[in-house]
Amino acid sequence: MNTNTTTHNPDGDVIAELISALGTGAVSTEPAVLREKAHDRSFHGAVPPLAVIRPTSTAEVSSAVAICADHGVPVVPRGSGTGLEGGANTSAQSICLDLSAMDQIVEVAVDDMYACVQAGVMKSALNAELAGHSLAFPVGPGVDASVGGMAATSASGTTAVGHGTLKENVTGLTAVLADGSVMSTGSTTKKTSAGYDLTHLLIGSEGTLGVITEITLRLHPVPEATRMGIWSLPSLGAAADLVVASMRSSLHLARVELLDDATVESLTAYSGYTAPVAHTLMVEFEGSAAEVDAQYQQFTGLAHTFAAVEFASSSEPDESALLWQARHDALPAALALIPGSRAIPTDVCVPISRLPECVLATHEDVLASGLTAPIVGHVGDGNFHVAVLLDPGDDDAEARARNFTARLVDRALAMGGTCTGEHGIGTGKVAALAQEHASSMNAMRAIKSALDPKNIMNPGKVLAHA
């Protein structure tokens, strides 16, 4: 009897095929690399993947996805890993498709004001390239992120009130579908009425329908002048009311951000921020010098009716950037409040008229829950964030935090809002999405099944069941 047996290793088969197709340099199974690429910035759990693939072109992504499809192996696309809801977190039997090496700016059309870039291009790198043309891509989060990742989550940030989200700033893209086929959508024109809007079907789909490999972006002229200001207010309600009044006026805010007193206190300790510890609004106007001056003076008059006090203002770009850095430091500053803590960052968005009510109710809920949870927000579009800190010495903090975030979603939905304005669904808000869009979940599942019948594209994200 022949006692020599061969054990078939399906995991080894897919990795061997990927190496054969892409080369050893593009495929890593090193444990340290697998651990590093297994998770984003979220609280949610992850397990290292089978391998990390680093393609440099759409053709290589197509080959990788086709091989994974043949073996039924899940594909988890990854940009810069800055997500907050587990959208890029991997599982044990998945392949991480790390798009960071796809970092080429394909085209900058100065007169038509668009750029075509590969998915791994960082926002900072794109803006460095655009600076010489007096153009910019101002859309996206405060943290530097890849354009592909921003498109996959329909990211936004402090500039959304003035310039919109990724949805409003992408005119076309290239994507690899679940069978490895390549699809191009949209155009480079300002508008189109041709066919289904597949561009915006994929934007915000978080890699569950396809892998976005190239993106065509609307560019914006660098404004002639800007002016930002930091204003302290006597109460959280007054701050939110001033935002609503500003949005209902003839003011054209480029940015308006809320920092509650807990956030300001954390920044004082974290970075030496010297503003009074008070509920705070940060605003910015842009345009011609005359327009900016008139707008800021109009806002000043309105702010005084809410007993707001100006702490600082600047028309100098470098100085303004330093002042804005306080807003971008909000999450690390919050984490520094409790050494060794972890954060559950969450966000909701409500109609602007309900913003004061929702923010105040959330603040009261934080206090009643005994949690440390600073609040910040892109309040010009009704979107705000809460960073719920988990004290390592508090055994039931996580349970209270999860109950709090569930109430936050319930509150936003009851006010006609949404469970997330920009973080996305990932794994963290799958149930919240089903709660918000119960009547359309079957349609979403049908789209997922049609484009990804084997359920290999970032499975377990966005939809509970394909």
Give one DSSP letter per residue of 20-63, joined into a string: HHH-GGGEE--HHHHHHTT--SSSS-----SEEE--SSHHHHHH
N-term to C-term CA, the chain? 47
pLDDT in tens, 118-150: 999 999 999 999 999 999 999 999 899 999 999
**Domain spanning 225-414, CATH architecture:** 3-Layer(aba) Sandwich (3.40)
CATH topology for 10-100 is: 3.30.43
- Rounded mean pLDDT, 189-196: 92
**Running DSSP on this structure, what letter comes out for residue 3?**
-
pLDDT in tens, 410-449: 999 999 999 999 999 999 999 999 999 999 999 999 999 9
pTM (two decimals): 0.93
For the chain, the average pLDDT equals: 95
CATH topology for 102-221 is: 3.30.465
465 pLDDT band, cuts 50/70/90, is: low
Helical spans, DSSP H, in 370-396:
none
Same topology for domains 10-100 and 225-414, yes or no?
no
Cβ atoms of residues 128 and 85 within 8 Å: no
Structure tokens at 433: 């999405």
**Every domain of the chain and the residues it spans:** 10-100, 102-221, 225-414
